[in-house]
């Protein structure tokens, strides 16, 4: 039984049966093993960061890793310095410089020249954009006012001043004569800004507003972006079933639609990872088959993350030990994910049962259909 369903001394592998009779494969490990997860030598930080479109999506994920992985901290900070110097976010530069605390040789001294240059140019750009907006307001040219307002919103967003970016994006929505393209792009920009503010209730509220103007959200790429934000908001809240439904309904081609503007928030790999884990945790067997396994659109994402694809397929085919082995290899990545990390215990863990029960159940686990496993456990409990 041990070789067929291996048990790590730090973890209890648990087969959980629920009222509908389907099986969830979950793993519980002690909290202190999160550290060992995060220290796995195989994690390629450069490759991971390259998934996300600059500036901010890449920065926030690197900063999270720097704050949560002792082994990867300095490498993450080095990449952060490099990426920050490409942009205009001087406030985050100050934060990262403080985090580095003189431990990065090439960044021991605060780069006053770069910082001063960005600040000076920023002040000039802001004055120019503000003057342009005031001039257009004086002339009451609606189209020009909208463009100037958008330019200011993007200026603040680029600087990392998300509160002011949100304020100016919302001013655009106050115009009654917006065409559908401007309306949808502005609403999506607001959602993206809420992500940077870590305000996921704001996203849910914004999506509710979008539903009042469905005619602006018919184009497939726009619908897909809305589902990305909706799925992420549900996921962060802990509504895993709703998240699984949203992610599994995203219709994008990872090759054809590579320029769809979600990569600052989510990589295509994340759609497979979040949607796959949430689906495995909450879907019934029938839902798993329909929404994940036989869903050609979602399978395109799963092809990007073979471990998730194989874990789901092995689980569906009752190969529980092999399914678990994929989760075991993935768990250090899960702990390093900005949005997934707080949900590791909820999605992959539970209060452990006794190891004796685990080993007894493991003896009958492989090759037995899901409904039989439910009956087997019920009989043992009786």
Q: What is the pLDDT along the chain (382 residues), one digit of tens a residue?
A: 332 233 332 333 333 333 333 344 343 333 334 444 444 457 899 999 999 988 799 999 999 999 999 999 999 999 999 999 999 999 999 999 999 999 999 999 999 999 999 999 999 999 999 999 999 999 998 999 999 999 999 999 999 999 999 999 999 999 878 899 899 999 999 999 999 999 999 999 999 999 998 888 888 889 999 999 999 999 999 999 999 999 999 998 888 876 565 778 999 999 999 999 999 989 998 999 999 999 999 999 999 999 999 999 998 998 888 888 888 788 888 999 999 999 987 777 533 333 444 444 444 444 333 333 334 434 444 4
Q: DSSP strand E in the chain: where?
A: 11-17, 23-29
Question: Could you tell me the two tokens for 288?
Answer: 């798993």
Q: Which tokens belong to 38?
A: 């995060």
Q: How many CB atoms lie within 10 A of CB 114?
A: 13
Six-digit token string for 234: 């549900």
Residue 118 has a pLDDT of 97
Among 313, 329, 315, residue whose Cα is nearest residue 369: 315
303, 312 Cβ separation under 8 angstroms: no
Q: Alpha-carbon distance 338 to 355, whole Å?
A: 32
pLDDT value of residue 346: 77
Q: CB of 240 within 8 A of CB of 281?
A: yes
| CB-based contacts of 174, cutoff 8 Å, min separation 6 | none
Q: How far apart are CA 79 and CA 24, in angstroms?
A: 38
Say what the pLDDT of residue 264 is.
86
The pLDDT of residue 327: 81
Q: What is the pLDDT of residue 318?
A: 84
Burial of 19 (0-12, 13-18, 19+ CB in 10 A): exposed
Question: Which candidate, 272, 346, 335, places its Cα nearest to that of 43?
Answer: 335
pTM of the model: 0.81
Q: Is the peptide bond before 125 cis (omega within 30 degrees of 0)?
A: no
């Amino acid at each position: 039984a041990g070789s067929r369903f291996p048990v790590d001394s730090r973890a209890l592998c648990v087969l959980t049966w629920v009222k509908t009779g389907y099986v969830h494969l979950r793993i519980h490990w002690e909290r202190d093993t999160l550290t060992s997860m995060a220290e796995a030598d195989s994690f390629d930080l450069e490759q991971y960061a390259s998934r996300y479109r600059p500036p901010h999506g890449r920065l926030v994920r690197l900063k999270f890793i720097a704050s949560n992985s002792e082994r990867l901290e300095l490498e993450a900070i080095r990449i952060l310095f490099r990426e920050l110097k490409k942009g205009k976010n001087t406030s985050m530069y100050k934060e990262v410089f403080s985090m580095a605390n003189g431990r990065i040789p090439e960044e021991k001294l605060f780069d006053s020249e770069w910082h001063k240059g960005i600040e000076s140019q920023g002040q000039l750009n802001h004055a120019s954009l503000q003057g342009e907006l005031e001039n257009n307001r004086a002339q009451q040219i609606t189209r020009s006012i909208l463009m100037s307002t958008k330019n200011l919103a993007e200026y603040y967003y680029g600087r990392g001043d998300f509160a002011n970016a949100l304020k100016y994006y919302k001013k655009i929505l106050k115009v009654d004569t917006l065409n559908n393209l401007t309306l949808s792009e502005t609403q999506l920009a607001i959602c993206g800004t809420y992500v940077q503010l870590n305000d996921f209730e704001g996203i849910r509220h914004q999506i509710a507003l979008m539903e009042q103007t469905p005619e602006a959200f018919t184009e497939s790429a726009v619908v897909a972006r809305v589902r990305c934000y909706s799925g992420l908001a549900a996921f962060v809240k802990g509504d895993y079933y709703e998240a699984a439904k949203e992610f599994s309904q995203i219709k994008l081609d990872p090759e054809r639609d590579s320029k769809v503007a979600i990569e600052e928030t989510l990589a295509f790999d994340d759609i497979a990872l979040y949607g796959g884990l949430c689906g495995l945790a909450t879907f019934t067997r029938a839902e798993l088959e329909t929404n994940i396994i036989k869903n050609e659109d979602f399978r395109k994402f799963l092809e990007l993350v073979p471990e998730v694809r194989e874990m789901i397929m092995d689980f569906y085919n009752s190969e529980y030990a092999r399914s678990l082995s994929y989760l075991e290899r993935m768990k250090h990545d899960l702990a390093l994910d900005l949005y997934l990390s707080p949900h590791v215990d909820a999605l992959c863990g539970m209060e452990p049962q006794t190891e004796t029960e685990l080993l007894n159940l493991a003896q009958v686990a492989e090759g037995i259909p899901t409904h039989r496993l439910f009956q087997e456990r019920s009989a043992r409990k009786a």
